[in-house]
A and B are shown apart, each in its own frame.
Chain A
Amino acid sequence: MNHIVPSHVETLEPIKPKIWQRWREPLVGYGLILPSLWIFLVFYYGPALFLLYISFFHWSIFQNRSSFVGLHNFVILFHQPIFWQSLLNTGYFVVAVVPVTTLLAIALALLLREAAGLRKGKVAQTLVFLPHVTPVVATSIIWVWIFNPNFGLANVVLHLLHLPSLLWLSSVHWALPSVMIYTIWHSLGLYTVLFLAGLATIPKHVLEAAQVDGARGWLTFRRVLWPLVSPITFFVIVLASITTMQTFSQIYTLTGGPHGGAGGPAFSTTTDSLLIYQTAFLYLHFSLASAMSLILFVLILGLTLIQKLIADRFVFYR
């Protein structure tokens, strides 16, 4: 008889790992993420938590004059008409910019999709994306000239369309819409490319099946394309809402300069983030500005959560 298995089989003692062996792997892991974690904590969460802290203080750059005031900063804010005005302006800005940007982006993406992969398609895609990579401050200055009531391009276009010319950035009613136009121009490329990427993931056969099924343009879009890019739409809406709520640079550059202090005329372009900037760095009320930032943060968080709730009913994830 062959002895394949030895007649005496010993049970092996489980090897006890030494302390350093047990800790080696996690230590290496944490060691590797530490550099970026450190930057994240010091420059990201640190200031954010500090902001939370000082919003409950009457805080001065000179520490010895700071004192805890509880919710007093918020009470002050709620009694300031300009604060409410800034929230209203921000709301108007978001409500106008986000839907227009989203719809324009998907329309452009549908157009560009036809030529995707072709040379002209790539050129068009680049042209659409180009504004987004330009620096906001630099192009804002160009747009100040475009919006010039006397010799700007904007009024030339209106004139060609036989429409009355506008005062644009100098008008209480048109200053914020002017900023909106610039914002849409600047951000459209990014969202278009996002939609293009979304459209590219739709299986070709599904669209062909719709064709054979007898669906055409609008029906195919509404019942097949649109639901299938709904995750992208949701992402675009959230991203656009957050960035427009935080809009600062173009307002500062477009409405400042020749028109005096930014946010004018008559506070018509004073959004929340502009007011935060002015309160903190012009009037040096850091604790008030912090309280405002906190409110803006809560508003953005709230809006995003609401959007998420709505989206859960409509967004289709494959």
Chain B
Amino acid sequence: MSIITVQNLHKNFGGTHVLDDINFQVAEGEFLTIVGPSGCGKSTLLRILAGLERQTEGHVTINGRIVDHEPPYLRNVGMVFQNYALYPHMTVFDNLAFGMMARRVPRPEIRKRVVEVANLLGIEQFLAEKPKILSGGQRQRVAMGRALVRDPVIFLMDEPLSNLDALLRERMRMELRHLHEKLHIPTIYVTHDQTEAMTLADRIAVMKDGKVLQVGTPEQVYHEPQTEFVAKFLGSPPMNIVPVDIAHNRILPVNEPGYVTTLPDRPDLSKISRVSSVSLGFRPEAVKFVAPSHDDLKIPMLVDAIETLGARYHVHGHWGRTPLTVVMNEYRPLKRGQSLVCAIPWHQLHWFNHETESRLPKLATEPFTNLVGSPL
């Protein structure tokens, strides 16, 4: 059964559409991350779920009850804000206890729950302190504890780790995941950080310009991105996307006949005669430099620069005028201007409609009839 259902949700601020027809569900015990660039409406969506903002259209159902007109105090959601929003004048104990006090939970019960949660999060030694003296990570835990202590139906987190330094962020990420596995409280986690989104999530929703572009497991959105944006947004370095023309068994970057390369010799490709307005995508780490097979697409790349990351190397270059980045796991001496043949296995290629930027079925199985025609 789903804990939260969002149906046809719209939000306008004045004349601007901030959210445009949002639909998704969160199942019991599920961890959903909402990821997107800043300004894509993800925080607004979360605030609507919490009841801090009212949607223009559409419905939000929590635990089978439509809560469209319910103020926050009736919804029993736990929220963690980006800047923690702790009550600065209260002790950690009171910060945790406040929500239960508001709900008139008896005092001994409050005490018990607060101590329980403080122990769980390792903040029991700070219960008598005010938030001012706590470090970022400790404040983060208090903010989590405050949301947790009331036993909420669902956890809403608005970029909770973005104010922490990189090392601590990584640790808190792990702890968050462990906590979730222990407690199984359904969670919606908003972030702009694709690593956080991928590592934490059971499912990811990718948002852009107020729309949800794709919802799926981290594997699904990574391996079968439905749009060019999703393909580029998840994964680092981002996927290479090149608008190409295809004729017979040859492929080239659009309008750059000097950089033509041959398509692999596959029997299912024989039915293609001419395709244009299509973009080719491949992930930087999908590229092989040794032992290419007959099934690989081989792209001649001119090397511009190499970045050393220690365990691996990022090679920046270009194919025609299109910049490419590929990942190399072993060092090989490369010079600027040198040609490097990048072999990409056929099943690692992604195809997108260049106009709509949406994913196309595998080039081999579908003849792309709608795209055939424009002469090279």
Contacts and interface: CB of A to CB of B under 8 A. Distances in A.
Interface of A: 203, 205-206, 208-216, 219, 223-224, 227-228, 230, 316, 318
Given A208-B81, A213-B99, 9 more contacts: A209-B87, A210-B98, A211-B51, A212-B77, A213-B102, A215-B73, A216-B102, A228-B89, A318-B89
B87 A211 contact: no
A211 B73 contact: yes
B72 A211 contact: yes
B311 interface: no
Contact of B87 (A210, A212, A219): A210
A214 B72 CA distance: 7
Contacts of B72: 208, 211-212, 214
B148 to A, nearest CB: 12
Contacts, number: 74
B73 A209 contact: no
20 contacts: A203-B85, A205-B81, A205-B82, A206-B85, A208-B50, A208-B52, A209-B81, A209-B85, A211-B51, A211-B72, A211-B73, A212-B72, A212-B99, A213-B98, A214-B102, A214-B103, A216-B102, A223-B87, A223-B98, A224-B87
Interface residues on B, range: 20 to 34
A211 B98 contact: no
Nearest to B83: A205
Q: Which 4 pairs show the lowest CB-CB distances between chains A and B?
A: A205-B85, A213-B99, A214-B102, A316-B89
B150 A213 contact: yes
A210 B101 CA distance: 11
Contact of B50 (A203, A212, A216, A224): A212
B74 to A, nearest CB: 8
B209 to A, nearest CB: 25
B151 to A, nearest CB: 12
Interface of B: 50-52, 71-73, 76-79, 81-83, 85-90, 98-99, 101-103, 132, 146, 150
Nearest to B130: A316
A205 B71 CA distance: 16
Contacts of A224: 87
Nearest to A202: B88
Given A205-B83, A227-B89, A212 B102 contact: no
B189 to A, nearest CB: 16
B150 A214 contact: yes
A276 B75 CA distance: 63
Contacts of B77: 212
A85 B102 CA distance: 49
Contacts of B82: 205
B113 to A, nearest CB: 14
Nearest to A227: B89
A211 B150 contact: no
Contacts of B103: 214
B71 A212 contact: no
Given A214-B99, A216-B102, A208 B73 contact: no
B87 A206 contact: yes
Given A209-B146, A212-B78, A318 B98 contact: no
B173 to A, nearest CB: 22
A211 B88 contact: no
Contacts of B83: 203, 205
A230 B90 CA distance: 13
Contact of B79 (A203, A212, A228, A316): A212
A214 B86 CA distance: 15
Contacts of A211: 51-52, 71-73
Nearest to A226: B89
A211 B78 CA distance: 11
A215 B71 CA distance: 11
B233 to A, nearest CB: 27
Contact of B88 (A210, A212, A318): A318
A228 B86 CA distance: 12
A36 B86 CA distance: 44
B73 A214 contact: yes
Contacts of B73: 211-216
B79 to A, nearest CB: 5
B325 to A, nearest CB: 38
Contacts of A219: 101-102
Nearest to B103: A214
